[in-house]
Structure 1
Amino acid sequence: MSGALLLTPTRRLAAACLKDFDASMQEAQRQAWEMPKIQGLQDWCIQYWQHLEVSGYTDCYLMTAQESLLLMEEIIQKSSYADRLLKPHTTAKLVLSAWNTLHYWCESKQIEASCENVDQEAFQDFCKHYRHHLSQFKLIDQAQLLDHIMQHYCENDESVTQAFYIRHLICYGFDDITPQFSKFLKLIESKSCILDIDSPTTITPDSLSRIVCEDVQDEIKRAAAWAKEKLLSKKPGEKISKIGIVLPNLPAYREQVVQAFDAIFDTESQISPIAKISPEYNISTAIPLTQYPCIQICFSLLRMLKFEFSVADLSLVLNSAYIKDSIKHQDMYQAIKSKVADSYQDKLTLEQWISVCQKYSDANPLLEVIMALKSLATHQKRQKISNWSRYFEKVLNLWDWPGERALNSIEHQAVNRFYKFLDEFCQLDMVFGNVTYSDALDKFQKFASNIAFQPENQGAPIQILGILEASGLIFDELWLMNLHHENWPPKAEPNPFLPLALQKQAFMPHASPQREYEFSKKITDKLLTSATHIICSYPLLHDNNPVYPSELISHLAVAEDHTIQRIDQRIEQISNHAENIEYIDDYFQSIPLSLNAQNKESIKGGSQIFEYQAQCPFKAFAKFRLKANNSEPQTLGVNPKIRGIIIHECLQKFWEQVKSQQALIALSDNLAPFLEGIISQVIAVQKRKISYTEVLWQLEKMRVKGMLLDIMAIEKTRPSFQISAVESFHSIQVGELHINIRIDRIDALENEQYLLIDYKTSNMHIKNIVDVPLRSPQLPLYLMSEHTFVSNGVAWFVVGKEENGLLGISAQDLDIEGIVPVSELNISTTWETQLQVWHNELNRLSQEYVDGYLTLKPINGIQTCRLCDLSSFCRIQDKMQAEKMYG
């Protein structure tokens, strides 16, 4: 009807109504038509408020939902309850949800009511300060917006509100009208407004059935194949069908949905990740703006203006393609990143970064940027958030963000949204006063993390939606997923900050199972009459537990065999197409190693070549022949590698001075101070190499001292021994490989027996040196070296967090706990036979390495891969994923 206003509960439904109206005008062959007034309720309210602001009828500022959340979080953090909360941000969301619900249900007086528990007391305290802040700075939030509009409507005549005066209102597609909105409807009706409450036209489906799937992953894959089949079955000239796929808890399954649909609609995405917007399907659920890589780099760049910033942020920046000269100076950036990672384990300053860059002659362009940043960092006094917004923009401009590379469509939209967000951030001046750089950056990041962003793709024929987003829309084909009894209707989740009795009595959202059932039934009945052809599905398993169809769809007939067969055939066709992709099989690749027979220099890597070759041949090939080294992982404390070095050096210095068990026992009274002196010497050397706080170094001293005292207690209980050598270097020949090894310690025992010892800070097992194929070649390699004596055994001295001790194998019983004579290993062999087995295994590993045998074959399967740092380089994870997906 001309002049009427049509309001919908969501922006998506409003857009669909506009699109349908335009289509009907085109079908009627109209050349021009008046644009109807169709808006989402929230959009109309905001537009009305902007009219009041421009016209001078109000001097209040309307906060966005993100601004309200930041304000509530700041109030919570300053409250007396802050020290009891682990997650203030999550608490703020719950508190604001309770505040909004009370206003939408016209129960705001409950904020002043008596409390039943400490949660409600805290809620009242938060709301009291929140309300005071709104009043003091003339602010209103989204929950209060409709109340203020009603107040203005009552206080002014038609001439004042003429631009937004409603003569005919149509409420379309509302499943749940809140008491606040109901009050508004009564008000405008009293002002002689014609009011219509309308629902979308119902469709009697031609087919309505249900399908059972193995699990959610199978369900998603089948839905994707079904959608693909529907698109391909369209005849030439036929109108493209509107296809809907609806998932109640879509955000939780978003990643699985993306993977499945990418695999079905673009098989090549398995080997080249999609960086474009699919023209065929659109997923309604957005992800936080901060999760897009180009935006993540922004915050890493801004965090580097703090007094100290993390090595992780620096590595992320220098690895990215979103900064100045990232392509031109890639090698230099990587060299600096590696140097910083080696020198600083956790944090560094701009000054320290400058000192690293000055060691590289080609780092002048980077130095210019850093010096400009350093100059900018001197102007970080407290100021308005709008000033900080311009400051952030200057930092990003110095880095030439988002870089010189052409952006793809998704990146381009994300960058545009970020610049719009920079302008929105300026508006926080109305909410907060002057703040420091750290506070501004913290608010900036939290604000951005609450902005859900999805690249535009309105024209896609397949729409993947959540339940509430799909309500009111009309489709040609519809698939409703994951409708099992554990998931639909959803479980009740009353807000802990509101009295439960109030929530149940007022029928508030998620208050009770009855409320959830009735609301879910209303939504389900509407969806089951919103398409010509409808399939409902549910999995047999959820979290490895059997589930059953929801009672809301249990009455539906099981889908006919030919429907299921078409879906299975489409999946099979896609799988067959995927098999046509050429996969390079690495299992028999061979690149021989060139060795100079006349000048066989020692190959760098030593015993680690054999260790990695035993773990996985590809790892040895990548580490030692391709020089594929990853940066050290970032840790909160002292890096595990540094801890191992400290323990080794402390034990080396100790036994260089204390050369026997007898001397150790004689030290008993002075052992602790003696160890403290050695630990201080070792850590003093490490301090000059690595930047840690003094607190961390003191904690490390205490830890190492405790471990060394435990080790010495074990050493005192052993049979008598003397130290023959520590950190003993040897050159050995294994097959064609000539390598250097270093034996941590050699003990001379009684009766001219000798024991070779290697320190280990990780758990070991005797099977690692007994089983074939050999898992841990280091101890057998010790026995290949030449000595003036015959070794009677080899052992690890395990230096662990909880348990220390010797673990090894010997020719005869040495009467040492943890060292097992070969005769007791149940392998039916002698010491000489075992030596020959080791000799053969080491020669095999040597020959494989020389021949360039680089198969992806981890010895312990996925367990070996978990401990490997080449996951970004090795393709075995992709291979496993492909095998899992395509069988």
Structure 2
Amino acid sequence: MPKLPIPLICEDDVFAALEAGTLLLTINNRLAREFQHRYDRVQQVKGLTVWETPRILPWSVWLQRCYDHQTVTFTEADSPSPTLLSPLQEQSLWERVIYDSPHSGALLQVPAMVRTAQEAWRLWHAWRLPLAGQTLFLTEDTQAFLEWAQIFEDHCRADHWLDNARLPDAVARMLEEGRTPLPETVILAGFDEYTPQQQEFLTVLEQRGVLLQVFANQGEAQQTRRVALADTIEEITAAARWARRRLEYSSRERIGIIVPELEFLRAQVARIFDDVFHPEAVLPGRGRMERAYNLSLAQPLADSPLVHTALLILELSKGELSMAEVGALLRSPFVGAAEQEFSHRALLDAYLRKTREETVSLERLWKAAITAREEDAAHHGYPVLGEGLQQFKAEVDSLPARQPPSGWVQSFTRWLQMLGWPGERPLDSEEYQAVSAWHKSTQSFSSLDRVVPSLKKNAAIGKFRRLLMETLFQPENPIVPVQVMGVLEAAGEQFDAAWLLGLHDGIWPMAPRPNPLLPIDLQRRHRLPHASAERELAYTRVVTERLLASAPMVIVSHPCREGDKDLRPSPLIAELAPVPPERLQLASVDAYVNEIQRTGRMETLVDAQGPPLEAGTQVAGGTGLLKAQAACPFRAFAEYRLGAKRLEEPSVGLEALDQGILIHVALQYLWEKLQNQHTLLSCNAEELQALVAKAAKQAIATQTAVRPQTFTERFTAIEQERLEQLLLEWLERDKQRPPFAVLHQEKSQPLNLGGLSLDTRADRIDQLESGERVIVDYKTGRSNPRHWFGERPEEPQLPLYCITHKVPLAAVLFAQVRRGETKYLGVTKEEGSIPEVAIFTRVADGLDSWEELLARWSQVLHALAAEVMAGYAAVAPRDANSCDYCALPGLCRINELRSGAAKNKKEGDRDG
């Protein structure tokens, strides 16, 4: 599409024209702000302290102002102009049209199709596509779109509405009729091309006597170099170090870093630029510090932490949140009294996690907060959270089924007020701007009353969330020397130096992506954006020339690899003079941890000793204490002396721990009824099935009280059947043993071990006909009796029960209650006393008698108890597997110790 023959104007003349009242129209909001800042600097250089605001507006904003001016000033003799729909109103009307159409049932994602249909409608009008009246060679998608478009147009005509795609045409008619004041001169900036609709509009301006001019960058790259780097991360790092080096020489330079795929690389760019420019940003309280660079890519408003908290509150009204969301809400600083109740809410978060449920209901959260309030009122003051949740729940329960969007906005506002949003602490600049953007979004949502008469609660929350996801939020920040931006944001920008990164042949030029709702041949024939490879190449060539002229010094880079794929430079930059990476002038940047170590005096202290315990001290945890001490002394000290515990994580279904609890409870119930093997053998199949069913039901009931959301009706039925089959399979195993009676279940037995007081509890103690006893420990996983042996045994519980027991023992057993693998594992005092269980001499080496076995266990366990009493707390895991199930690697920093040892060994090998 050829451009209009509009005369060019340089930057100096632009500012002179702005002083005279000329209108400057830019392609986007960012360029408008940039021209405003540049104009302000020119006035300051002149020594002025006050000046009139120049007329600088984005193209779309100026069109809306022109239309609004005519709407406000019409007389009674005039017919009122159609109401201009907001973008949200327009989107909602398209949603209504598509949802009500017969094609909606075949669509997987209606919101995505709405966006595609809106783009097709905009392209249709912007590029003057001759779609009307065409019926041949149209795909089913295009025919569906034409049906939607006709219904959309009928709604607009019937309700006297105007959409944004046809706004330029409406304003052009107003200009032709003289209903809108005209500027004498209009300067256009940042436009790489003009659509036919824009060209027609500009022709109307010329015909009405408006002088049109185009701002032309007079910059020309004096040095343009191409550099190949290993990958994208190395590219970003090199660009950041290059920008820092230039600022070290001249802090007044304006540096541009232009990234074509910035929306996908934003997190990596921010992290690397922080590492290079502001490594201290990782320190507590430094996250909001002013930075030397500005990342221009706006993010969805919903991603703002403050707005995210507000959305969590709205989602809570649906009746439940995920455990992760509840934790985020409880820890958020944007809920009332967050600082006052910080510790209380952290404990509440840990309490709710104990059930390991994936979701937390509003009912449970409210009751837990109220219970905590009553318990803590005397000691910690009156928590605000419980009262707020109580009011919130009552308000949610009293809501009508449907309300107009404006009614839901009022409800949203009340809910947030009840929970004290946006918090008690003063907001910083970015948070204040986020609150302002939130209020604008609620106003926009309220305006939907005209298009959407009423909504259900969940639909209203979902629609409002989509609005916040599609609302881009870019906080206003002070002008900084380094600007990181995408290609579109760089339109019309001028820098002292620029770096264009990521220009490999896979993305530059971009692959064509024509709109699927418009005929492909028609898009190619009219050269629509993204319609063909030829069109993309031509457009990208224009953009490349503009970017290469955006600064006197321009470096263009491309990665050589992406994963396992080799990359080549874009053909549009392949002819640029290459430069080796080592020739680049990059700032020397060391890791922040190294800088800290160099600036401080380090003293190394190996402290493996905690406070010793007094004789007779009772330590909570029972046998788990010695198990942890055997695995790693520091782990035992941290968990049982310091009380360091991990936060429980949600689980889908039942974990091994939950299944173990079910088996323990069910078998305890069974043997309370059976008492001995004789009763078991005397039960017929029906009686045993009924007894097992009751045992399974009893066990499930205890867990349902703890995890009500996991044990749904269907899940309970499945678990009941699974548990019954497993119990019946296990009872068949018990039928094959020599006669026995169950003497004790879950019997508590205190023990003093070298001055350490412990409480032991065996799952089951059986008595044989000989009077000897058998200690049984239920296991639902695979077990190994060899874990009882060694200087630091993996499973010291059963040996501990053995040395506690005063009555002679015949065997020590693991009862492996596992579907298809039910068996007894362990050691017996005499051969054959328990079928399939080996005598102790086959498992334990170097022992001749049962008494020697008990003596060895006693010696090992007393040694572990002596370590606990002495306060021995070295970070000394028994083996590499000991750390696999430990939740405290960040506390002991074992990985740092290992990496340091490996580094020292490597350096020693090199020195040797």
CA deviation profile, 1:747-795 (whole Å, cap 9, x unmatched): 7899999986554556778997789976565566566653645565654
Max Rg structure:
2
Task: Return the match for 1:473 from 486, 493, 500.
Answer: 493
Q: Does 1:144 align with 2:197?
A: no
- Given the two structures, how large is their TM-score scaled by the length of structure 2? 0.80
d(CA) in 2 for partners of 1:70 and 1:817?
74
Equivalences for 1:6-25 in 2 at 5 Å?
6-24=24-42
SS in 1 for 2:221: coil
Structure 2 equivalent of residue 536 of structure 1: 556
Q: Give the 3 Å change call, closer, same or farther, for CA 748–18 of structure 1 in structure 2.
A: same
Q: Does 1:608 align with 2:624?
A: yes
Structure 1 equivalent of residue 57 of structure 2: 39
Q: Give the 3 Å change call, closer, same or farther, for CA 426–789 of structure 1 in structure 2.
A: same
The answer on whether the counterparts of 2:188 and 2:215 sit within 8 Å (CA) in structure 1 is yes
Deviation at 1:297, TM superposition (A): 2.1
Q: Give the 3 Å change call, closer, same or farther, for CA 25–330 of structure 1 in structure 2.
A: closer
Equivalences for 1:377-416 in 2 at 5 Å?
377=396, 379-381=398-400, 382-416=402-436
Structure 2 counterpart of 1:421, one-letter code: S
Structure 1 equivalent of residue 910 of structure 2: none
SS in 1 for 2:553: strand
Aligned identity (percent) is 26
CA deviation profile, 1:197-251 (whole Å, cap 9, x unmatched): 55433412335231413x32233222222222221222xxxx6001111211112
Q: Give the 3 Å change call, closer, same or farther, for CA 808–560 of structure 1 in structure 2.
A: same
Structure 2 equivalent of residue 321 of structure 1: 333
The answer on whether the counterparts of 2:733 and 2:822 sit within 8 Å (CA) in structure 1 is no
Structure 1 equivalent of residue 180 of structure 2: 161
Structure 2 equivalent of residue 101 of structure 1: 123
The answer on whether the counterparts of 2:772 and 2:807 sit within 8 Å (CA) in structure 1 is no
d(CA) in 2 for partners of 1:341 and 1:129?
51
Deviation at 1:416, TM superposition (A): 3.0
Equivalences for 1:270-349 in 2 at 5 Å?
270-272=282-284, 274-306=286-318, 314-334=326-346, 336-337=348-349, 346-349=360-363
Q: Does 1:356 align with 2:364?
A: no
Structure 2 equivalent of residue 682 of structure 1: 699
SS in 2 for 1:572: coil
Q: Does 1:203 align with 2:200?
A: no
d(CA) in 2 for partners of 1:810 and 1:287?
64
Q: Give the 3 Å change call, closer, same or farther, for CA 717–798 of structure 1 in structure 2.
A: closer
Q: Give the 3 Å change call, closer, same or farther, for CA 521–793 of structure 1 in structure 2.
A: farther
Q: Which moved more, 1:871-880 or 1:382-391?
A: 871-880
SS in 1 for 2:712: helix
The answer on whether the counterparts of 1:52 and 1:58 sit within 8 Å (CA) in structure 2 is no
Structure 1 equivalent of residue 395 of structure 2: 376
Equivalences for 1:738-777 in 2 at 5 Å?
738-745=757-764, 758-760=777-779
The answer on whether the counterparts of 2:745 and 2:764 sit within 8 Å (CA) in structure 1 is yes
Q: Give the 3 Å change call, closer, same or farther, for CA 426–570 of structure 1 in structure 2.
A: same
Q: Give the 3 Å change call, closer, same or farther, for CA 581–824 of structure 1 in structure 2.
A: farther
SS in 1 for 2:489: helix
SS in 1 for 2:403: coil
SS in 2 for 1:464: strand
d(CA) in 1 for partners of 2:900 and 2:56?
47
Structure 2 equivalent of residue 595 of structure 1: 613
CA deviation profile, 1:690-749 (whole Å, cap 9, x unmatched): 5448x7144223224224414643664689225756445444566664433434456789
d(CA) in 1 for partners of 2:901 and 2:513?
40
d(CA) in 1 for partners of 2:726 and 2:330?
43
- Supply the RMSD in Å over aligned alpha carbons: 4.7
The answer on whether the counterparts of 1:507 and 1:515 sit within 8 Å (CA) in structure 2 is yes
- Given the two structures, how large is their TM-score scaled by the length of structure 1? 0.82
Deviation at 1:679, TM superposition (A): 2.4
Structure 2 counterpart of 1:200, one-letter code: N
Deviation at 1:459, TM superposition (A): 0.3
d(CA) in 1 for partners of 2:89 and 2:95?
10
Q: Which moved more, 1:403-412 or 1:356-365?
A: 356-365
Q: Does 1:254 align with 2:271?
A: no
Structure 2 equivalent of residue 174 of structure 1: 191
The answer on whether the counterparts of 1:137 and 1:431 sit within 8 Å (CA) in structure 2 is no
Structure 1 equivalent of residue 3 of structure 2: none
Equivalences for 1:460-609 in 2 at 5 Å?
460-560=480-580, 563-564=583-584, 566-567=585-586, 570-572=588-590, 576-580=594-598, 588-590=606-608, 592-597=610-615, 599-601=616-618, 603-609=619-625
d(CA) in 1 for partners of 2:555 and 2:520?
37
Q: Which moved more, 1:722-731 or 1:451-460?
A: 722-731
Structure 2 equivalent of residue 422 of structure 1: 442
The answer on whether the counterparts of 1:167 and 1:193 sit within 8 Å (CA) in structure 2 is yes
The answer on whether the counterparts of 1:208 and 1:556 sit within 8 Å (CA) in structure 2 is yes
Q: Give the 3 Å change call, closer, same or farther, for CA 479–768 of structure 1 in structure 2.
A: farther
The answer on whether the counterparts of 1:762 and 1:799 sit within 8 Å (CA) in structure 2 is yes
The answer on whether the counterparts of 2:730 and 2:817 sit within 8 Å (CA) in structure 1 is no
d(CA) in 2 for partners of 1:139 and 1:434?
19
The answer on whether the counterparts of 1:707 and 1:799 sit within 8 Å (CA) in structure 2 is no
d(CA) in 1 for partners of 2:839 and 2:519?
70
Q: Does 1:217 align with 2:241?
A: no
The count of corresponding residues between Structure 1 and Structure 2 is 866
Q: Does 1:649 align with 2:665?
A: yes
The answer on whether the counterparts of 2:627 and 2:793 sit within 8 Å (CA) in structure 1 is no
Structure 2 counterpart of 1:289, one-letter code: L
Q: Give the 3 Å change call, closer, same or farther, for CA 589–204 of structure 1 in structure 2.
A: same
Q: Give the 3 Å change call, closer, same or farther, for CA 762–435 of structure 1 in structure 2.
A: farther
The answer on whether the counterparts of 1:586 and 1:855 sit within 8 Å (CA) in structure 2 is no
Q: Which moved more, 1:315-324 or 1:251-260?
A: 315-324
SS in 2 for 1:470: coil
CA deviation profile, 1:816-838 (whole Å, cap 9, x unmatched): 9998999999x998899999998
Structure 1 equivalent of residue 4 of structure 2: none
Q: Give the 3 Å change call, closer, same or farther, for CA 361–776 of structure 1 in structure 2.
A: closer
d(CA) in 2 for partners of 1:69 and 1:520?
30
Deviation at 1:426, TM superposition (A): 2.4
SS in 1 for 2:455: coil
The answer on whether the counterparts of 1:304 and 1:313 sit within 8 Å (CA) in structure 2 is no
d(CA) in 1 for partners of 2:793 and 2:175?
84
Structure 1 counterpart of 2:529, one-letter code: P
CA deviation profile, 1:533-583 (whole Å, cap 9, x unmatched): 22222334313433333333333333356644x42x612386742444769
Equivalences for 1:704-719 in 2 at 5 Å?
704-710=720-726, 712-713=728-729, 716=732
Deviation at 1:100, TM superposition (A): 3.3
Structure 2 counterpart of 1:302, one-letter code: L
Structure 1 counterpart of 2:485, one-letter code: L
Q: Give the 3 Å change call, closer, same or farther, for CA 12–795 of structure 1 in structure 2.
A: same
The answer on whether the counterparts of 1:211 and 1:535 sit within 8 Å (CA) in structure 2 is no
Q: Which moved more, 1:847-856 or 1:287-296?
A: 847-856
Structure 2 counterpart of 1:100, one-letter code: R
SS in 2 for 1:245: strand
